[in-house]
Amino acid sequence: MKQPPRIGLTGEMVVEVVEENCINFADDRMPAVLATPWLVAYLEYVSRDALSACLLENERSVGALVEIEHLAPSPIGSRVTCRARVIHVEGPVVTFRIEAFDEAEPVAKGLHKRRVIDVERFARRVAKKQKPPKS
C-alpha cells in the first residue's frame, strides 16, 4: 500500500433502483424492490473505490467478508445511498462499516472486509485453477 488507509476514510455512491437490479417475486401482489445481491455488490464497490487511492499500481483489493442486514425494501425509482467507512486496518485487511439508505429510511447496515492483494500473484493463482481449452 502507498499508505495504510486512515480510520474514518469514507466512500459514497448513489444508485437508482431500476428493473435490472430488482428481485422479481413472480407474484403480482409483491412489488419489485432492490435485490439483496445487488445491494451487497454496491456496498462492495463503494468500499473498493474508497480504498483504491491507498493502493500501489500492482495492488487491488478483494472482498473477504460481507455481513449485512437488509433492513427495508427500496422500490423502483428510489435512490439508494451506499456508504463505507474504514473502522479497522490490520496489515492487508481493511474493515469497513457499511450502510445504505433511501429517501425514506435505512436500508442496510453491516461490516465488510477487504484484503489488499498483489495483482500478478492473484492472476497466477487463478491461472492454476483454469482448465486448458479442449482441442
Per-residue pLDDT of 99-121, as tens digits, reads 999 999 999 999 999 999 999 99
Q: Give the pLDDT band (50/70/90) at residue 56.
A: very high
* 123 part of a folded domain: yes
51 is in which domain, residue-wise? 10-129
CB atoms within 10 A of CB 28: 6
CATH of the domain at 105: 3.10.129.10
Q: Is residue 99 part of a domain?
A: yes
**Domain presence at residue 5:** no
Task: Tell me the pTM.
Answer: 0.92
Q: Is residue 58 part of a domain?
A: yes
Q: What is the pLDDT of residue 123?
A: 95
So what's the pLDDT on residue 78? 98
Cα–Cα nearest to 52, from 16, 80, 18, 94? 94
Which of the four pLDDT bands, split at 50, 70 and 90, describes residue 81? Answer: very high
Average pLDDT over residues 83-91: 97
pLDDT score of 132 = 76
Domain membership flag for residue 19: yes
Domain assignment present for 26? yes
Q: Decide if 134 is inside a domain.
A: no
Q: Rounded to an integer, what distance in angstroms lies between the CA atom of residue 42 and that of residue 26? A: 24
Give the C-alpha separation, 59 to 69, whole Å: 30
Using CA atoms in the order 111, 123, 116, 45, what is the torsion angle rounded to 10 degrees? -40
Strand 106-118 to 93-101 pairing: antiparallel
Out of 30-34, 53-57, 128-132, which region has the weakest mean confidence (pLDDT)? 128-132
Q: Cβ-count burial of 43 within 10 angstroms (0-12 exposed, 13-18 middle, 19+ buried)?
A: buried
The number of distinct structural domains making up the chain is 1
Residues 6+ apart with CB under 8 A from 105: 71, 72
CA-to-CA separations, 81 to 55, 88, 134, in angstroms, rounded: 25, 22, 45
14-53 pLDDT, tens digit per residue, is 999 999 999 988 888 999 999 999 999 999 999 999 999 9
Asked whether residue 1 is domain-assigned, the answer is no
